[in-house]
Amino acid sequence: MIDVVSVASWNADLVSRVPRPIARGETLLATSFEISPGGKGSNAAVAAARQGARVGVIARVGRDDFGRMALALWHAEGIDTQHVEPVEGERSGVAQIHVYDDGDNTISVFPGAGAGLAARHAQAAREMLASCRVAIASCEVPLVATLEAFRIARAGGALTVLNPAPACGLPDELLNRVDVLTPNESELRLLAGTAADATIDAAAQSLLARGVKSVLVTLGAAGCTLYRAGEPPHRLPGWRMTVVDTIGAGDTFTGALAAALARAAPLPEAMRWANAAAALSVTGRGAIGGMPSRPQVEALLAE
């Protein structure tokens, strides 16, 4: 029995540390380079697994070194891979990441084999989706796969959580299938299509009006805010942490939230867990280096 299913993107993260953002046409010397596991969907799956959830992924990877790296990671994290399709002749996803001295970053993603994820992959995983508690996805995988996965999961009684990253416009057809949307501030504004000077509250309200059940906005070091129709916003402050890098913080938030929802935590309580897990995630290197276990989140919350 699987608790959380991730319609997952997978990327090998090629991470270079540079002092500051690189200007157009400029070359900067990096001070370090690492290849580490990434991809928003895989990251969220790992985060949920480390919180004790039984996790399955629906994914496509190339039959290459980076594809083998994905499978080795998922096996090591105890994640179910029966619905992973390794594809001959296609490259696995790759993300090129620059991390700056202040811990912030920029990322470009080549989705590779992940771009071929389709409705048929969700259908092939029907049994797992129809019996899970929470289905999660991001905008790194094709919309058609997420639409179908969420349709099947919801018909089976599961909750759906969408991390709308990278920022993209989404059709109401999908928004209507989302129980919890977890945008950051810029993703929220793009999705809502509100003016640049519109408040976060106004942007979140406009998404609720379009059919999303709950909008949970992540605000980086400032914490997060939950919006639900007919209720006042529920705000949580952030934790003060020593930042190594912020890669995967949003994915950790989504994965930890899903794991907490899967053990039937009410949304405000699940949000508290996710907020603490995301805070811990920035204290380690790369997307999964700082991703905490459940006892680590418990310990932070007890402080």
Contact flags string 209-238 toward ligand RIB, x per CB under 6 A: ------------------------------
**251 annotated active-site:** yes
Contact flags string 147-186 toward ligand RIB, x per CB under 6 A: ----------------------------------------
Under rule CB under 6 A, residue 87 binds ligand RIB: no
Under rule CB under 6 A, residue 60 binds ligand RIB: no
Q: Are 285 and 248 in contact (CB under 8 A)?
A: no
Under rule CB under 6 A, residue 11 binds ligand RIB: yes
**Cβ neighbours of residue 191 closer than 8 Å, sequence gap 6 or more:** 164, 167, 168, 169, 170, 181, 183, 203, 207
Place of tokens 């920029």: 106
Contact flags string 249-288 toward ligand RIB, x per CB under 6 A: -xx-----------------------------------x-
Under rule CB under 6 A, residue 109 binds ligand RIB: yes
**Cβ neighbours of residue 10 closer than 8 Å, sequence gap 6 or more:** 38, 39, 41, 42, 59, 61, 66, 67, 70, 92, 93, 114
Helix (H) / strand (E) containing 181 = strand 180-181
Task: Single out the catalytic residue among 64, 80, 245, 251.
Answer: 251
Under rule CB under 6 A, residue 43 binds ligand RIB: yes
Residue sitting closest to ligand RIB (CB): 38
Under rule CB under 6 A, residue 59 binds ligand RIB: no
Query: CB pairs under 8 A, 24+ apart, for 125-130?
Result: 125/5, 125/56, 125/58, 125/83, 125/149, 126/152, 128/2, 128/5, 128/56, 128/58, 128/80, 128/82, 128/83, 129/5, 129/58, 129/153, 129/156, 129/158, 130/155, 130/156, 130/158
Stretch that binds ligand RIB, among 146-154, 178-186, 196-204, 243-251 (CB under 6 A): 243-251
Under rule CB under 6 A, residue 245 binds ligand RIB: no
Residues that bind ligand RIB (CB under 6 A): 11, 13, 38-40, 43, 95, 107, 109, 140, 247-248, 250-251, 287
Catalytic residues: 251
